[in-house]
Structures are given as C-alpha cells and as structure tokens.
A and B are shown apart, each in its own frame.
Chain A
Amino acid sequence: MKKEQVPQDEGNLSKSNMKELIYATDEKGNYTTALSTGWEPKTIALTNSIEEINERVAAAKNQVKNGEVSPIVYFMEFHKMDPVILSSYVGMWKWRVKRHFRPKIFARLSDKILQKYADTFAISIEELKNFKAE
C-alpha cells in the first residue's frame, strides 16, 4: 500500500480521536509509517458484530421478561460474554452456570453465589435479583 492510499475514513476510532499506525511505502518504494483514522470495511465489520450483540441482548431481555431465563443471561449478553467466559469469571463449572439460567433455580440461589455474579457484572445483588426487563 502506498502512503497516500492509507485510508482516512470516518470510523469507530475517529469518534474518539484515535488513530492507528499503518506501514506503507513512500514515493521511492521505501517503507514508512502513516496514521489512519479508520477504514470503511473495518467499520462495517465491527458494526456488524455490534449489531449481532445488540440483537442478542434484546432477545435475552425478552426471554427474561417472559420468564424463560434468569437475569444472569441478560447481563451475560450485555457484557459480551458467553457461558464459558462467564463461568471462568465466577469460578464455577459451565454446567452450573447454565443451570443458573433457569428462573426456578435462580430464585433459590444463595447470596454467596449471587454475589459472584453481581461482582462480575459490577452491580449489586438487589439489582441482579430485581432486574425487570422493561
């Protein structure tokens, strides 16, 4: 890539005034570096992933509302986690975490267990227990 071709598109980085470093060639074909504000294909790819996550969060919210899953699922999706990541944060086996997704099981959890989830999501036990999906 030539230095003058280094993309300067509006992107997720330019919003927060960040620029990334790119290696590119100058007019003599020698390598040098240039700063880039962003590149459209990357922005599209990232936007696609963010949309995907937002859809998952919305779906989880709906399921909590309908009493199909416990609030843990909503907060897990909100924090871009999956059951594997969540289980390593709370220090429990994945199957146990998945069990806690069931509203009936969730209702019976001790404060000690709930605290682990609350800490992971940086909220209080009350916020976790009383989460109303509205």
Chain B
Amino acid sequence: METGFTHHQSAHCENGVASNLLKHNGLNISEPMVFGIGSGLFFVYLPFIKVNYAPAISYRPMPGQIFNKLAKRLGLKIKREKFSSTANAVKALDENLKNNIPSGLQVGVYNLTYFPDEYRFHFNAHNLVVYGKTATDYLISDPVMETVTTLTHDELNKVRFAKGAFAPRGQMYYPIRIPENVDLKGAIVKGIKNTCRDMLAPVPIIGVQGIRFVARKIRKWPIQHGTKKANHYLAQIVRMQEEIGTGGGGFRFIYAAFLQEAAVILADESLRELSLEMTAIGDLWRDFAVNASRVYKNRSTQEDVYNTLSDELLSIADKEEAFFKKLRDTIKKY
C-alpha cells in the first residue's frame, strides 16, 4: 500500500508535517507560512518542571497547536484521534492507508531507530507522516530527515505509545476538508497578532518576560547550584534552543522567512524591513549559543561569565520587545 506522497524536508517537525500533508491535499503552503499563521514562535520557562534534570524551557507552543491554529485560521478541518489500545490505533491507521490518506502521527523520539543514538531522548512531541505499509514495515516521511524512511510495525507501535510527558497515546491526524479558496491575508494577520500577544504577554514566565526571567536566573545558578549544575542547565538551554524538533534561534529565521512571504502577500514593504530585523535577532540568539557553549566546554568557574551571558540574554529580550511592539503597530491597520 502506498499513497503517492511527496516528502519535503523541513526545519521543524510539526510545521513540516502540516505543510507536507496540506501540499498532498492540494494546498500549496510553505513551512514558514505554516509556522507564522499557526503562531509557532513562543517562549515559556517552566522552572518547576524538570527535563533531563534541568528546568524546562520551550521555544514552541504545546504540541499540535501550530497545526490547529493554522487550520482554524484557514478554515480547514483536521481530524484528530487518540487511542486507548494499540490494536485500535493500528486498525485506524491501516484503514486510512487503505483509503489513500497519508496520516500525521505524534510520536516519541526514544525508539525512533533511524535517529542517531545521541538524539534518542524521551521526548514525545515529535511528528511524522505515515504514507504506506508493506508486509513488514510502515513507510515514513519524517520531515526533519532528508529522505523518506521506514519503521517496522512493532517499532511504529512503540513510538506511538511512548510514555511520559505529552504521551502521544497513538495520536493520528489528517485534514478532512480544505476549502477551495482560503483567506491567506486574514490568516496571516491573525497569526501575527497572536504571536505579538504571546511574546508581549504580561506574564513573568512567557514571551519576552520569560526570556528576562531566565536571564536573571542564569546569574544566580552558579551560586545557588554550583558550577557543574549551572553548566548542565546552560547546556540544556542551548539544546532546547537549537536542537532538531525544538528550535529557538533557528525559529527566528523561519519567522523572518514568514514575514518576507507575508510582505509580498499583504503588499507591505514594512514587513520586509521587520523580517531583516528578525534575522538580526536570530543571529544574536546564535551568538548567545556560541558563548554559552564556550562556558560549559571550558568548565569555567568564574562567576563573571554567567553575568555576561545574562546581560546578553537581557539585551536580546529588549530587542525582541521592541521588535514585537513595532510588528504589533504595523499589523494594527489590518
């Protein structure tokens, strides 16, 4: 069984699955467009939740939200199903493949055998598309991979029923209705407004405020926890920021690409200028990653380096605040 699905590699899994599934269904939409309309740019710091024994930081919204928001804003209908038993989950997927419907799945990364060992952590918010089945394997289009791949039937069941935080519970999703004409302009405006609201939220752990919160914490980590733990925490920030499937610095570039596309569709030159500004902010995030990695590589024990990093992050927060205020004012007129 095969559904004639075209695989396109993407920078982030959820955007990629959404974009690939929609392209398959005749709606040509790029990854940055999905990301922008679905308000994928986000920041939240959850010090009370520990991931790999370090406080959780997320540069993205809850799994599934990007696609859901995109669908709502474009008037698409997405069907989402979760399952309590493996047998039912297998049946539903096989049924879909029989009916020529490539299906998106939320999966855990730990048992994804085609990933390098170093990347296999208990992270349950990865997304991929299953587009066919053979006697032994499922045919997989994982958007962060260059080409399509396969998993055995058992392997796929394992990743669909991974346990822990955000357990996918076999979750499967696919578009069931796509309108002939979509209101791209309106959707773009809504997506941008949502992102501005999130990033400028008056909540201490979210958006620009959240970035500041982390920045202030970095200063205290070596005193509170000792340098070893502080370095471990720093490494975690960088991994969350730049690793496959999460993204932070990289997300700024996708968002800048989105603004560039949006500038053409809305015929608004000021969005193109803002795109340049976002690119510059993305570069700053990358500089931060470089400097942070130097600190934990050299196992530097001076307190001063943490202060420098903290200042660097605070200045990024200031720039993002100014940026999103400008973006909010630009988009107001629509």
A binding-site residues for B, Cβ under 8 Å:
1, 12-13, 15-16, 18-25, 29-31, 33, 35, 39-42, 44-46, 48-50, 52-53, 79-82, 84-85, 88-89
Q: Give the complex CA separation of A29 and B297 in angstroms.
A: 34
A42/B242 in contact, CB under 8 A = yes
A31/B260 in contact, CB under 8 A = yes
Asked if B243 is an interface residue, CB under 8 A from chain A, the answer is yes
Q: Whose C-beta in chain A lies nearest to the C-beta of B158?
A: A122
B binding-site residues for A, Cβ under 8 Å:
9-11, 32, 50, 52-53, 110, 116, 118-122, 144-146, 163-165, 167, 231-232, 235-236, 238-239, 242-244, 250, 253-254, 256-257, 260-261, 275-276, 279, 282-283, 286, 289-290, 292-293, 296-297
Q: Whose C-beta in chain B lies nearest to the C-beta of A85?
A: B164
Q: A45-B235, A48-B296 are in contact. Are A12 and B116 (CB under 8 A)?
A: yes
- Chain A contacts of B144 at CB under 8 A? 20-21
Q: Give the complex CA separation of A39 and B243 in angstroms.
A: 10
- Chain A contacts of B50 at CB under 8 A? 82
A24/B253 in contact, CB under 8 A = yes
Q: A20-B11, A20-B144 are in contact. Are A45 and B293 (CB under 8 A)?
A: yes
A52/B232 in contact, CB under 8 A = yes
Q: Give the complex CA separation of A45 and B291 in angstroms.
A: 12
Q: Give the complex CA separation of A60 and B242 in angstroms.
A: 30
- Chain A contacts of B257 at CB under 8 A? 23, 31
- Chain B contacts of A19 at CB under 8 A? 146
Q: B11 contacts which of A21, A25, A44 (Cβ < 8 Å)?
A: A21
Q: A18-B146, A48-B232, A80-B110 are in contact. Are A41 and B293 (CB under 8 A)?
A: yes
A30/B297 in contact, CB under 8 A = no
- Chain A contacts of B122 at CB under 8 A? 80-81, 85
Give 17 CB contacts A-B under 8 Å.
A16-B116, A18-B116, A18-B145, A20-B11, A22-B11, A23-B11, A23-B254, A23-B257, A24-B253, A29-B276, A41-B238, A42-B243, A45-B235, A45-B236, A45-B296, A79-B110, A88-B164
A23/B32 in contact, CB under 8 A = yes
B231/A48 in contact, CB under 8 A = yes
Q: Whose C-beta in chain A lies nearest to the C-beta of B242?
A: A42
A41/B260 in contact, CB under 8 A = no
- Chain B contacts of A29 at CB under 8 A? 276
